[in-house]
Structure 1
Amino acid sequence: MAEIKDCPSCGNFFNFTGIRDVCANCAKDEEKQYEEVYRFLRRRENRAATIERIVEVTGVTETLLHKWVRKGRLQPALFPNLGYPCDNCGKLTAKGKLCETCTAELKSELRTFDAAQEFREAVTKNDTGTYLAEKKV
């Protein structure tokens, strides 16, 4: 079922069905901008253009470029300098929500956590419940 939402671009109300996150008018504008960006990138000399260069030439916002890469409309395999910011550190990435560095850090921290948890379980398992009292002199 559709719900009424504010368009983040123009502020008008629209029926949000889960397909588009903007109203129909803004979606048409975005599509025109996408066509302009794609025409620019199709030229051989522009395929390695940076996001800053694309913004400068076409006037499209970085946010919109990131959105198209995230959705797979612009593929970093074809245009190597495209990506979107990592949700953790902001470094450009081309897949997932985290860059490779943040993913490696997270995996390392999880391994450390798992090792500590296994150690605690082993200590608890081996604990016999016997306590030694100190001798007072």
Structure 2
Amino acid sequence: MGEIVNCPRCGDLYMENAFRDVCAKCAKEEEQLYETVYKFLRQRENRAATIERVVEVTGVDEVLIHKWMKKGRLHAAHFPNLGYPCDRCGAIINKGKICGNCSNDIETDLKQIQREEAFAAEKVKHEKHTTYFAANKRN
């Protein structure tokens, strides 16, 4: 069941759900803006437009275009010059949530952590097998 929250765009109260992240009024406005952008991009000469050009011509906020690309409503295959920012570094990407560089950095960090954990486990294992000899003095 959804919670009653304030709309991030207009501040009105609405019932939050999995399908919308704004109130019904703002969702309707967003849908109209989407239609404007999609009509612009459907024209053959505009398919290669950059996001800056789309914002300039349609007046739609860049954040909304990024949102539609993330949700898959605008496909990078159809509009090759459009993209959205990587969640980690902000570089423009066409698919996924993070760019290739961030993905490689994360993999490198994970491998380093695995090596450190393996070293620590080996150290603990070695310490358990160390034998200590006590010198017993008899008089």
| Farther off after superposition, 122-131 or 42-51 | 122-131
Partners of 1:88 and 1:70 lie apart in 2 by: 14
Partners of 2:79 and 2:45 lie apart in 1 by: 11
Partners of 2:82 and 2:5 lie apart in 1 by: 30
1:101 aligns with 2:96: no
Q: Quick check: which has more Rg, 1 or 2? A: 2
Partners of 1:16 and 1:121 lie apart in 2 by: 47
Where does residue 5 of structure 1 map in the other structure? 5
* Structure 2 counterpart of 1:129, one-letter code: T
Partners of 1:5 and 1:13 lie apart in 2 by: 5
* Structure 2 counterpart of 1:84, one-letter code: Y
Partners of 1:86 and 1:36 lie apart in 2 by: 25
Partners of 2:21 and 2:64 lie apart in 1 by: 12
Deviation string for 1:13-67 (max 9, x for gaps)? 1122221111111111111110110011111111111111110010000110011
Where does residue 130 of structure 2 map in the other structure? 129
* Structure 1 counterpart of 2:3, one-letter code: E
1:28 aligns with 2:32: no
Give the structure-2-normalised TM-score.
0.86
Where does residue 137 of structure 2 map in the other structure? none
Unaligned runs of at least 5 residues, structure 1: 132-137
Task: Report the identity percentage.
Answer: 54
What is the aligned residue count?
Answer: 132
Partners of 1:48 and 1:130 lie apart in 2 by: 72
* Structure 2 counterpart of 1:112, one-letter code: Q
Query: CA RMSD of the aligned region, Å?
Result: 1.7
Unaligned runs of at least 5 residues, structure 2: 133-139
Give the structure-1-normalised TM-score.
0.87
Where does residue 134 of structure 1 map in the other structure? none
1:44 aligns with 2:44: yes
User: Within 5 Å, which residues of 2 pair with 1:65-76?
Assistant: 65-76=65-76
